[in-house]
Amino acid sequence: MSSISFIGLGGMAGAIAARAVEGGNSVELIGRDAAKAKGLAAELGGGATTGTFGAVPAGDIVVLAVPYTSAVPVVTQYGDALAGKVIIDISNTFNADATGLVTPDGTSGAQEIAKAVPASAHVVKAFNTVFGHVLAQGRPLDVFFAGDDARAKAGVSAFIESLGLRPLDVGGLEMARWLEGVGPLLMGLARNGAGTFDIALSLDLPG
């Protein structure tokens, strides 16, 4: 069991948090709208609590569940309150029509977030390759993740397993750019070959 805080209260936070409660994790919900956080906590049940936006989160793992455009400003506002935390960056960084990325070559959203958090915090990229509405269906999905710190990654991997999902490590944080590139890929598949947004990417392993 892990202790998890969510910053952001939208569709992704709700979908991951619901599975987190089901998986027996201790869940804290934090948003800029305290009433909305309380409402989501009540909806989720399972002892989910709420925290104060900008204060030290209760969870060892913090899921940053805000749009990428808000992610760096939010962690900058948190500052030292995120010291020592494992921060899961779930953001997609694609542009308005989902054909490219807003981050320049040679970096990624996750790496930009990592530059903005305290040195003792560890950023792990995960969950951006799954649709929130598909997560909410409770299907067993693959969750690809990337990060530099082995302990942080082990914690995130255990958390992903507790959600009934398969964690798959793609390497260091420099690989986050390619995970972020999966965002437009998934959108292109949904709009074209698959013809539905009710899809998920998975790895086919032998035997």
Ligand X SMILES: NC(=O)c1ccc[n+]([C@@H]2O[C@H](COP(=O)([O-])OP(=O)(O)OC[C@H]3O[C@@H](n4cnc5c(N)ncnc54)[C@H](OP(=O)(O)O)[C@@H]3O)[C@@H](O)[C@H]2O)c1
From the list 19, 36, 38, 166, which residue makes contact with ligand X (rule: CB under 6 A)? 36
From the list 5, 6, 9, 116, which residue makes contact with ligand X (rule: CB under 6 A)? 9
| Separation of alpha carbons 137 and 120, rounded Å | 35
User: Closest residue (Cβ) to ligand X?
Assistant: 10
- 66 sits near ligand X (criterion: CB under 6 A): yes
From the list 31, 51, 57, 167, which residue makes contact with ligand X (rule: CB under 6 A)? 31
CB of 98 to ligand X, least distance (A): 11
- 91 sits near ligand X (criterion: CB under 6 A): yes
| Separation of alpha carbons 96 and 111, rounded Å | 21
148, 181 in Cβ contact below 8 A? Answer: no
- 12 sits near ligand X (criterion: CB under 6 A): yes
From the list 49, 70, 107, 162, which residue makes contact with ligand X (rule: CB under 6 A)? 70
CB of 132 to ligand X, least distance (A): 4
Task: Report the residue number, 4 or 65, with the smaller CB distance to ligand X.
Answer: 65
Chain position carrying tokens 């509405």: 133
From the list 21, 29, 68, 108, which residue makes contact with ligand X (rule: CB under 6 A)? 68
Instruction: Single out the segment in contact with ligand X by CB under 6 A; choices: 64-72, 148-156, 158-166, 174-182.
Output: 64-72
Q: Which residues bind ligand X (CB under 6 A)?
A: 8-13, 31-33, 36, 65-68, 70, 73-74, 90-92, 128, 131-132
